[in-house]
Chain A
Amino acid sequence: MIILDGQLTTDHWRTVRDDESLPPDGNLLFGYERFVANALFYSQRPGGLGVILQPEDSLEPILPWLGRLNLIGLHFPRVADGRHYSTARLLRTRHGYQGELRATGEVYRDQLDFMRRVGFNAFQLPESEDPQAVLNGVRSPRAYPDLQYDLLRTA
């Protein structure tokens, strides 16, 4: 289960391992290197197309495919690694990405509102987090959205 646009839903995406042969159909989520190496080919097959970025991965190689990508996953290896907050914001503003933007990895309830404000709309929580409790939990305080390019304001 994942949280998508504020609702608990089934995940309709399949993560394709790097050493796995290409599944015939479905919504497929690729690792960054495999995606970048095969982007043209993958973009022509039917079904949803997605890629997961680590914090150190550059956006440049995926920019030509933003219109075709249905899902971009941004992975948080540690709570404290905040690089993807900037990645998310760049994707949503400068690059105008409209598809699903999903946070994966160390994604806990106390970070969710920060993530929403920079443009994430989907969250894959670790096993230890009960997604229903997260949805019902205490929200983060308001901040100063007019000074912070808050994306919830315009969403």
Chain B
Amino acid sequence: MYQQDEWDQALLRERVAEFRDQTQRFLAGQLTEDAYRPLRLMNGLYVQRHAPMLRVAIPYGVLSSDQLRGLAHVAEHHDRGYGHFTTRQNIQFNWLTLASVPDVLAELAEVGLHAIQTSGNCIRNVTTDPLAGLLPGEVDDPRPWCELIRQWATLNPEFTFLPRKFKIAVSGRLHDRAACRIHDLGLELRRDEQEKPGFRVWVGGGLGREPHLAQCLREFLPADDLIDYLTAVLRVYNQAGRRDHLYKSRIKILVKSLGIEAFSNQVEATWQDIRETRSISALAALARIQARFTEPAHDPALADDRIEPTPTGAFARWLRYNTREHRVPGYRVVFILLKGLERAPGDLTAVEMRVLADLADQHGFSRLQTTHDQNLLLPHIPVRALREVWQTLDILGLANPGIGTVNDVTACPGLDYCNLANAATLPLAQQIQQRFQDLDYLHDLGEVHLKISGCMNGCAHHHVADIGLLGVEKQGGSWFQLLLGGRAGAESRLGRVLGPALRAEQVPDAIETILALYAARRLSGEPFAETVQRIGLKTFKETVYEQHDHSRRATHHGSLAHSEG
């Protein structure tokens, strides 16, 4: 984990002082709402349905136990006792008062956290693979690169008033688990024939109103050129991106209108200029940052540890589904599912935060990690401590072994909190989880990612879900469009719309039909999106809408037996 130095800490304190001054001027009537808006947005502060919402950055998802306690303190003293983890690895507080936000930021700065550039038309929090550096076989760790990009982007004076927001993801070398192709810019760590480090660069991806998968901008960028090259991309975008229309301002629209070749030519020419006038060595900067990264001191003596006695029952099931092999023998990666009937997806209470922080201190090198699907990881748990960790999680209700199943629902806050939403996402998430309580059935289905967005901005990333649900604008109640077969990662694909939108009440039935069809038609080991691809969207469509018409005629005749676990 990156250890902040005095410069980093002074920056955060100065940022708090600046924002306190700006907020005081606004509250005193010296700053207009229009003038204050971009300033508060660049500090992650939205004005939402009930109260201001503050989005706190968790750079590339890495949290220390002290930072989690800092978040718990904010939740308890300034909010209603909980926080909400997002799909971009950040956390949001929904019930703050405007006047308290400078104090909240001051408290967060004490533990090295901030809300810089978590909103606004600037470079947002850099995200990466939540499992980076944890699994066997990973060669290069993307996190020091993320930190380098974070520093380059933080209050970068040239790129603070961009046409629109700009999101960067960095993935490790073997698998793209950072969803590079749905970001404005994606960087995939690679090595050339001489084993020199570099990146494959993707540009122009993004979900929301006009979803696009990113195109390849450069097959191989030498790592040392990263800062110059990023500057070139952003400079071209800053100067040429559209500013006349909110929905036409993302870089994906610029890349599409110029064509990838013309866009690439502009970037290359700008890059050449930067190299000739004033070049920055990214590798030299990286070395400085790497020196401040500490790795947990894993104990080699634990390598042969086994769990005694042999796990059975709920513990065994949890081990199988909610933990993964660690690159260091004797340790495992533990997933914590922040979903369930009693909580909105991604919510965690202050009390739970403290217990998890204590668990991380006792057994996990004081580390935690946020994921892209609103869950948490305890990244370094010794095998010998797993039973105790499981017992504690179980007491908190956080040991549900549903990671990766349909019940691991990703959902934005929806109509209950957000000004933009068309539909209520949280009640639907709950109804879906209620419907699928049979763990044997869920585990038999395997990994099926279900994501619910309340509007086409797509915060829950419904386009890259196996089953994506999109709240649409319609009279009377909440309506959802279904999308099937999307996936992020190396084989990225956007989900396709199944058919006309359904009422929220009809959605659990439709999902049940879809899953039953998948279970019946899949080949052995075939993932959901592949089955959709192979047997065709049409088959799913006909089955769902036929069933739906039938149930409308015959009234509701009960659910299929397997869901009544």
Chain A residues packing against B (C-beta within 8 Å): 79-83, 85-87, 89, 93-94, 108, 110, 113-118, 137-144, 146-150
Nearest-neighbour CB distance to chain B for A65, whole angstroms, equals 20
- Known contacts A80-B38, A82-B162, A143 near B277 by CB under 8 Å: no
Q: Is the CB of A147 within 8 A of B280?
A: yes
Measured between alpha carbons, how far is A139 from B239 in the docked complex, in Å?
A: 27
Provide the B215-236 mask, 1 if CB < 8 A to any CB of A, else 0: 0000000000001000100010
Q: Which residues of B contact A79 (CB under 8 A)?
A: 35, 38, 161
Q: B67 at interface (Cβ–Cβ under 8 A)?
A: no
Q: B243 at interface (Cβ–Cβ under 8 A)?
A: yes
List the count of A-B residue pairs having beta carbons below 8 Å apart. Answer: 98
Chain B residues packing against A (C-beta within 8 Å): 7, 10-12, 14-15, 17-18, 21-22, 35, 38-39, 121, 148, 151-152, 154-162, 227, 231, 235, 238-239, 243, 273, 277-278, 280, 285
- Known contacts A110-B39, A141-B14, A147-B227, A82 near B151 by CB under 8 Å: no
- Known contacts A80-B161, A94-B273, A114-B160, A138 near B17 by CB under 8 Å: yes
Q: Which residues of A contact B158 (CB under 8 A)?
A: 82, 85-86, 89, 118, 148-149
Measured between alpha carbons, how far is A147 from B285 in the docked complex, in Å?
A: 8
- Known contacts A82-B162, A85-B238, A93-B278, A147 near B152 by CB under 8 Å: yes
Measured between alpha carbons, how far is A144 from B536 in the docked complex, in Å?
A: 51
Nearest-neighbour CB distance to chain A for B94, whole angstroms, equals 26
What are the 9 A-B residue pairs with the smallest beta carbon separation, nearest first? A82-B161, A141-B14, A143-B155, A117-B157, A114-B157, A138-B21, A144-B151, A147-B152, A141-B15
Q: Is the CB of A108 within 8 A of B280?
A: no
Q: Quick one: which of B7, B151, B238 contacts A86, CB cutoff 8 A?
A: B238
Nearest-neighbour CB distance to chain B for A57, whole angstroms, equals 11
Nearest-neighbour CB distance to chain B for A142, whole angstroms, equals 5
Nearest-neighbour CB distance to chain B for A126, whole angstroms, equals 10
Measured between alpha carbons, how far is A138 from B23 in the docked complex, in Å?
A: 12
Q: Which residues of B contact A82 (CB under 8 A)?
A: 121, 158-162, 238
Q: Is the CB of A115 within 8 A of B157?
A: yes
Which of A80, A139, A147 is most buried by chain B, counting CB atoms within 10 A of its CB? A147
Q: Which residues of B contact A117 (CB under 8 A)?
A: 157
Measured between alpha carbons, how far is A151 from B17 in the docked complex, in Å?
A: 24
